[in-house]
Amino acid sequence: MRGMVEVICRPAAVVGFSLAGLVAEPLAEVADPTPAITACLERSDLGVLLIEESIYDTLPPDLRTRLDRSARPVVVPFPGPAWSGARSAEDRVVELLRRAIGYRVRLQ
């Protein structure tokens, strides 16, 4: 599968993506992300859509469901920069599995 990569994040994460060679679309803290994300879903050239978790978590449930079921673009929420404790890697894997298979699993 070939396609472009789009990044939607807070301004604090833009520099990191620029260093990696990706163009990120910064959203202000008060901006509604729904129009930008809906526009990305309608693009035929888009292969991967990276969305900062803090933005993804504020989306309406019906849009999140649509993103979770989207085959193209592949939607990947990522953790943004934070000064507080981050979620453990195990918690992230469990959440990815829950989204992929539809129910929560317990890792041992």
CATH of the domain at 30: 3.40.50.10580
Flag whether 15 is in a domain.
yes
- What's the number of domains the chain is made of? 1
- pLDDT for 91: 77
Look-up: residue for tokens 């469990």? Answer: 94
Flag whether 102 is in a domain.
no
Flag whether 95 is in a domain.
no
Flag whether 91 is in a domain.
no
Flag whether 33 is in a domain.
yes
- pLDDT for 83: 63
Flag whether 90 is in a domain.
no
**Cβ atoms within 10 Å, residue 18:** 12
pLDDT(105) > 80:
no
d(C-alpha 105, C-alpha 98), whole Å? 7
The domain in which residue 17 lies consists of 4-80
pLDDT(73) > 70:
yes
Flag whether 101 is in a domain.
no
Residue 59's pLDDT band, with cuts at 50, 70 and 90, is very high
CB-CB contact of 86 with 79 (8 Å)? yes
Flag whether 41 is in a domain.
yes
